[in-house]
């Protein structure tokens, strides 16, 4: 009888020990790591806040890309095409696409269009005023900003670069005149005046305005005859 009771007590003690051990093991498995370094990167801590990523010690991490499209404007400056600048001016924030280097598809990079001064080795430094990185044709003359800067060499922020009364686009596409020359055919009538008069601005007119007779002809002077010197009195 006593022996049976002893065995029963031993079994009870073993059961208690096993239960306590299992609880301890479970607690160890589910317990939070002792330090942030033991947690995986980005895992939440006890307070629910995300932990900083684990650094790799002395290894070199890739640099942060602050300009996704490599257009010369930072990702911060490019606010997206839905951005509306404040009434006081755009400042340094633009309604450009940070994933598109040429938001308005005019042939110029967004960063190039907003610079105050340009050093463009291939196309020169003719552009003195900023063009809009969100408008294909800033001055509304029918030529894109890129076409004016790179090829036609007209002013992309001036509707009529040569001041002849015709827009740059109308001169190149309609009248076939030079948008950088006020009088394409050199007959002393501006291209705009000839268009309004119904004459051909690319063909020199035989009837010229007063004061436009071409170079003056030099008339040879008569030879100077020396006068005799009277004798002294």
The DSSP string of 127-190 is --SPPPTT-SSTT-SSS-HHHIIIII---TT-SSTT-SSS-HHHIIIII---TT-SSTT-SSS-
In Å, how far are 185, 190, 199, 204, 218 from 214, measured between CA atoms?
13, 16, 19, 12, 12
Q: So what's the pLDDT on residue 104? A: 94
35 vs 171: CA distance, rounded Å: 74
Given this model, what pLDDT does residue 150 score?
Answer: 87
Q: Please, is 106 exposed, middle or buried when counting C-beta atoms within 10 Å of its C-beta (0-12, 13-18, 19+)?
A: buried
Per-residue pLDDT of the chain (233 residues; tens, 9 = 90+): 555 555 555 555 555 455 545 445 454 444 444 444 444 443 334 444 444 555 566 676 666 778 888 888 898 889 888 777 766 655 688 889 999 999 999 999 998 888 866 655 555 555 556 888 999 999 999 999 999 988 998 989 999 999 999 999 999 999 999 999 999 999 889 999 999 999 999 998 766 666 665 544 445 566 677 777 777 76
pLDDT for 159 = 94
In terms of Cβ atoms closer than 10 Å to its own Cβ (0-12, 13-18, 19+), residue 203 is exposed
The domains of the chain are located at 161-196
């Amino acid at each position: 009888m006593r022996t049976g009771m002893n065995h029963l007590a031993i079994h009870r003690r073993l059961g208690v020990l096993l239960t306590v051990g299992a609880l301890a093991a479970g607690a160890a498995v589910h317990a939070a790591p002792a330090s942030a370094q033991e947690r995986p990167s980005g895992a939440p801590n006890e307070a629910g806040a995300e932990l900083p990523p684990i650094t790799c010690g002395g290894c070199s991490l890739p640099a942060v890309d602050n300009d996704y499209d490599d257009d010369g404007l930072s990702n911060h400056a490019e606010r997206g095409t839905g951005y509306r600048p404040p009434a006081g001016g755009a400042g340094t924030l633009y309604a450009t696409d940070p994933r598109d280097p040429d938001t308005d598809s005019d042939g110029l990079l967004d960063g190039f269009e907003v610079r105050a001064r340009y050093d463009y080795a291939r196309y020169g430094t003719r552009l003195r005023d900023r063009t809009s990185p969100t408008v294909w044709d800033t001055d509304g003359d029918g030529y894109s900003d890129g076409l004016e800067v790179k090829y036609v060499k007209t002013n992309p922020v001036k509707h009529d670069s040569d001041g002849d009364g015709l827009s740059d686009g109308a001169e190149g596409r309609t009248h076939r005149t030079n948008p950088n020359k006020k009088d394409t055919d050199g007959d002393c009538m501006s291209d705009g005046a000839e268009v309004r008069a119904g004459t051909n601005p690319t063909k020199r007119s035989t009837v010229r305005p007063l004061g436009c007779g071409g170079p003056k002809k030099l008339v040879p002077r008569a030879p100077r005859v020396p006068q005799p010197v009277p004798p002294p009195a």
